[in-house]
Structure 1
Amino acid sequence: MKLKVLVVALVVAMVSSCGSDGKKSDKKAAPKEEKKEVVEVDPMKDKGIGPITSVTLTEIDQAMADKGKAVFSAKCSACHKMSKRFVGPALAGITERRTPEWIMNMILNPEEMVEKNPIAKKLLAEYLSPMANQSLTEEEARLILEYFRTVKEK
């Protein structure tokens, strides 16, 4: 019986020590977390975030595309396949779904893109793996873009 009384007394002491000292608290209630509005972005108008602000495309340059395919094979194919989902999304037809600037900025600046760009954030949420920065040059990114222009979705 003494043990029960002692346990009850300890519990009462602990609970009462967590309360206020009888004075009104000056603390304001924690602000409610604002719900962030989801902004839908037209993927064919989004240029992404990074050094590329404008790309002018002309007819496909097959020599550039061939060099781009070699760079892609060396730097990107461990995570991307053209016609199927892998670690990252399938890339066939990417130029029909994203702007050239967005594609190049994703290649050159993937960390900031997945942090700030709504489309890249969505991709990160879907694939759960951020794109690795391969430290490519703008020229290499442009070659890869040219290669992407030659690979259409099936």
Structure 2
Amino acid sequence: MNSLKTVALATFAFALFSCGGDQKSDSIPTASNTDTPAATEAPAGGADASAYDPKRGLGPHENVDVSKFDPAMAAAGKKIADVKCTSCHKPTDEKLVGPGWKGVTQRQTPEWIMNFISNPDPMIDVDPELQKQLELCLVRMPNQGLADSEAREILEYMREIDGAK
């Protein structure tokens, strides 16, 4: 019975803290700390708002080849998402902590998705749509420390959710 309580407590603690990894503060965002940074001040994390491309985002991913669907890559992406993403995101359009994933590959380019899930902070700091999303969700997406290959696998899983075959 004691080990059952220990397992239940550990599971609860993991679920409670799994999305809190890289947050900069414990406070709930307010209008004063979620506003778009002024053009004269550098956004947190060193992101340059003038370099932001709304089609690509900020980051190293420029040309992501999605010409062929890879079911093995999508399956690997689902496994990663089950560990790192599903405590905050559902594969439907339903909001959990963060927005649901259904339709994301139709709204955003593969490069934007890869750059965002690989390193969300610089994009949140400069993207007006992400800042609006932050106001709705009240939680910054934490950096999950994804390798490029993991981000690409998650993207393929997102494509599968949206009907890629």
Instruction: Please report the TM-score for the alignment, with normalisation by the length of structure 1.
Output: 0.67
SS in 2 for 1:147: helix
Q: 1:119 to 1:46 in 2, by over 3 A?
A: farther
Instruction: Please report the TM-score for the alignment, with normalisation by the length of structure 2.
Output: 0.63
Q: Which residue of 1 aligns with 2:69?
A: 60
Instruction: Indicate which of 56, 62, 66 corresponds to 1:47.
Output: 56
SS in 2 for 1:66: helix
- Residue type matched to 1:53 in 2? E
The number of aligned residues is 110
Matched, 1:76 2:72: no
What percentage of residue pairs aligned between the two structures are identical? 44
Q: CA deviation at 1:79?
A: 0.6
Matched, 1:104 2:104: no
Matched, 1:152 2:162: yes
2:154, 2:140 → 1: CA distance? Answer: 19
- Residue type matched to 2:149 in 1? E
2:115, 2:149 → 1: CA distance? Answer: 12
- Residue type matched to 2:76 in 1? K
1:120, 1:51 → 2: CA distance? Answer: 19
Q: Residue deviations 1:82-125, cap 9 Å, x none?
A: 11100000001210111111111111111111101222222212
- Residue type matched to 2:134 in 1? L
8 A contact 1:113–1:121 mirrored in 2: no
Q: CA deviation at 1:144?
A: 0.2
- Residue type matched to 1:107 in 2? I
Instruction: Indicate which of 112, 115, 130 corresponds to 2:125.
Output: 115
Structure 1 gaps, min length 5: 1-35, 37-44
> Alpha carbon RMSD of aligned pairs, Å?
1.5
Q: CA deviation at 1:47?
A: 0.9
Matched, 1:139 2:139: no
| Higher Rg | 1
* Higher helix fraction (1 or 2): 2
Q: CA deviation at 1:58?
A: 1.6
